[in-house]
Amino acid sequence: MKMFIGSRWVDKENKIQVRDPFNGSVIDTVPKADPYDVEQALEAAHTGFETARKMTVHQRASVLYKTARYVSEREEEFATLIAREGSKTIREARKETQRCVNTLTVSAEEAKRILGETIPFDSFPGGEKRIGYYYRFPVGVVLAVTPFNDPLNLVAHKIGPAVAAGNSILLKPATLTPLSAIKLTQSLLECGLPPEVIQVVTGYGNEIGDSLVFDRRVRMISFTGGVEAGKQITRKAGIKKIGMELGSNSPVIVWKDASEERAVESCVSGAFWAAGQNCIGVQRIYIHEELYDSFKNKFVKRTGEYKIGDKLKEDTDMGPMITEEEAVRVEEWIHEAVSMGAKVLCGGKRKNALFEPTVLEKVPEKAKIYREEVFGPAVNLFSVSDMQEAVERANSLPFGLHAAVFTKDIDLAFKIAYGLDCGGVMVNDSTDYRLDSMPFGGIKNSGLGREGIKFSIQEMTEPKTICFNLE
């Protein structure tokens, strides 16, 4: 596949191989962008904004509606590509494709709801003869930097609102999984998006990232990725808008009155979806001491039933991690935890990039697998005796994206939900639940701002006040 710069598909002699992490086979190649390509893309995005901002609301919505239908009609093509280039099984990839369709559809709908309001200037002396309002206008060039774990829908979460708001887009997809993003770009162009509105640059972030982030023509950076990369961007970006989702270490509280079967099933799915490479995946489970042994046994039994292997087989529950290097990292973190006193209840073994779903207990708080985002198929179980302890331990880390609580006590659910420091609390559900139209984002090291189409549009627009003096 090729990059898309300056209204044309661009190839290069220097290529990046895109490999299937299950068997290492080369799926395709993409160009390896250099500083010249970046400059061309930045200039094209800058001039393309003039086209984007002049698109009427119905034109923006029409492109997004048509693209949603286009993707829906080719669900299996998109799902197969997602599964091949990434870690998701074909069943997980189909769900991601369906979510992408929803993201684009809601983006089209929200394009029609970018509203302003009148301002009561006469609310203060001196404003009696003044009347006015504000409306929202697009920020300009949006730099969208996307991760490998949701190579289609997280791209849609940036492109959809940017188009709806009237911005131009410069997309830098994940180097490991760029193919779904390019295919979505092809779909948008096929469905009528003016070619000057979008640029796609493929390459290594450590080689071209600074040139993209520094540039004054970029008016907003929408980034999904790791904490350290996020910190680097904030140091280098200068005066521009920044929206970041930087992952988490999501806690779940399972209270003694919880529906045990629901909690087990939800948390197993939440821990091992996409081989655990999930920013809102379950990583820490705090279980009331009266329920701990029973929950642990059922959780381990259900985890042991997971079938791992070929992502394209319908009965596969979990595929490989994105690279063998990442699997080795998780293996090392587990070995460190065990050396410090943790106990592996099941899993813990690796074959190439395949890593068994792993459950641990007695993990010390000094261990990396407790303190950091594991971004792999490993979950830690802990026993707690009271609500205050559970909430304090859930809040103890410098992350705050999603958390969850399982209980039948509505009063307790409210108390815990309001006590948890995070961007979203799921009650009687996994931390892994997300509706694409809800506000999504975190506090502390988990990010800045909110995604979710309506809320992304707010981030990607600015209010302008118009005031008339009628004297």
pLDDT range class, residue 471, cuts 50, 70, 90? confident
**Across 409-426, average pLDDT:** 97
What is residue 348's predicted lDDT score, i.e. its pLDDT?
96
Task: List CB contacts of 452: < 8 A, sequence separation 6 or more.
Answer: 435, 436, 437, 438, 439, 440, 441
Domain architecture of the chain: domains with CATH: 3-247+444-469 (3.40.605.10), 250-427 (3.40.309.10)
Q: In which element (H, E) is residue 298 found? A: helix 292-304
Q: Considering 85, 110, 245, 459, which one is annotated as catalytic?
A: 245
pLDDT range class, residue 227, cuts 50, 70, 90? very high
**Across 109-125, average pLDDT:** 97
Number of Cβ within 10 Å of residue 408's Cβ equals 12
Express each pLDDT in 358-408 by its tens digit.
Answer: 999 999 999 999 999 999 999 999 999 999 999 999 999 999 999 999 999
% of the chain with per-residue pLDDT over 70 = 100
Query: In this structure, what DSSP letter does residue 445 have?
Result: G
Q: Considering 279, 356, 361, 451, which one is annotated as catalytic?
A: 279
Q: Is residue 229 scored above 80 in pLDDT?
A: yes
Task: List CB contacts of 257: < 8 A, sequence separation 6 or more.
Answer: 407, 408, 409
Q: Establish whether 467 is a catalytic residue.
A: no
Tokens representing residue 187 in the block: 């779909």
pLDDT range class, residue 192, cuts 50, 70, 90? very high
Mean pLDDT of the chain: 97
**Across 91-117, average pLDDT:** 98
Helices and strands in the chain: count of H runs, count of E runs: 15, 22
What is residue 374's predicted lDDT score, i.e. its pLDDT?
98
Give the closest residue to 148 by CA, choosing from 75, 221, 222, 226.
226
**Across 141-170, average pLDDT:** 98
133 DSSP β-pair partners: 118, 466
Q: Establish whether 325 is a catalytic residue.
A: no
**Across 349-354, average pLDDT:** 97
Express each pLDDT in 295-304 by its tens digit.
Answer: 999 999 999 9
Express each pLDDT in 52-87 by its tens digit.
Answer: 999 999 999 999 999 999 999 999 999 999 999 999
Q: Is residue 413 scored above 90 in pLDDT?
A: yes
**Across 43-52, average pLDDT:** 98
